[in-house]
Chains A and B, each alone.
Chain A
Amino acid sequence: MLESYFPVLVFILVGLGFGIVPILLGRLVAPWRPDSEKLSPYECGFEAFEDARMKFDVRYYLIAILFILFDLEIAFLFPWATVFQDFIAAGEHAWFVFGAVMVFLAVLVIGYIVEWKNGALDWE
């Protein structure tokens, strides 16, 4: 059962290795002689004008939260993809299950239409 995830584990480990090894190698092999000029931030040769961490527009937040909502919707539909065939094969309740999912989708689609109409997806 879990053995089928072994490649995933190996993949993760290899991925980690790819991330970490070059940095470590760079540290070990490359010359490393820092001084204050090298380490200070610069902006096109000038002193930095402002903080690098600028504030994000609140609009990104709206996009992100709408993304989360539809992401969750996908999470609810995920099991449907795996079992719907079984319901069809069993011949029982297939329409009920289909209807249930369609109602679920309809609610969120109406939400989507309304937010679109209200301009939540426009950027101006």
Chain B
Amino acid sequence: MPVRVLVAKPGLDGHDRGAKLVARTLRDAGFEVIYTGIRQSPDAIAAVALQEDVRIVGLSILSGAHVGLTKKTADALRSAGADDVLLVVGGTIPKRDVPRLEAAGAAAVYPTGTPLEDLVDSMRALSGAAQTPL
């Protein structure tokens, strides 16, 4: 069964070229992809993740608000009972923020410049690993 991924744009940032490219690339790579569109609240993203039963939520943030929004989305997923959903984050992210995002609950971080094939490989590995019982 294909792995279901929700590509989501939290916050008010409207730059979605990257999110759409990633959505399309993942679809071509065999994932089942849902795209939320821009300007979604963390709660709305968690609700869609739960409803669509996705394995991975991918956030795309270019406004600099990535740390706070990642934390809020991770919290929203937890309180919606979607603890098993993996959260990954991409966008305009300086190197110094990668550990902060991981601490906030990101399983992987893809800063600008990440080759798309690396992203696909990483997401395949993540979803495969996550399907194995711990």
Do A and B pair up? The answer is: no
